Amino acid sequence: MHIEMELPESAFSALRLSPAQFAREMRLAAALKWYEAGMISQSKASALADVSREAFLLGAGRFHVSAVQSTPVELAEELARD
């Protein structure tokens, strides 16, 4: 599917990116935000951003998004199962 969006030219210069680079960053940022909000899985987010899982995790670090989206209670329950 193809989606078109109008953006001011200043959007590209603000981040010093070409339009193609800006589009890639925007896809990654959206995927990371939806992952961070618990709306999609890490696998779905990396597919949405059209990057490998490794690139997605590196992007998470750049955007200061935790790669682990479990609550402390969920982590404790998981550790108790092992």
Q: Is the pTM of this model over 0.85?
A: no
Assigned token pair, 73: 């209670």
pLDDT tens, position by position, for the chain (82 residues)?
888 889 888 888 888 999 899 999 999 999 999 999 999 999 999 999 999 999 999 999 999 999 887 777 877 887 888 6
- List all residues 6 or more positions away from 35 whose beta carbon is below 8 Å from its beta carbon: 41, 42, 44, 45, 60, 65, 69
Answer whether residue 63 is part of any domain: yes
Answer whether residue 55 is part of any domain: yes
Answer whether residue 35 is part of any domain: yes
Answer whether residue 22 is part of any domain: no
Answer whether residue 54 is part of any domain: yes
Answer whether residue 81 is part of any domain: yes
Burial of 82 from C-beta contacts in 10 A (0-12 / 13-18 / 19+): exposed
Answer whether residue 68 is part of any domain: yes
CA distance 62 to 7: 23
- List all residues 6 or more positions away from 45 whose beta carbon is below 8 Å from its beta carbon: 31, 32, 34, 35, 56
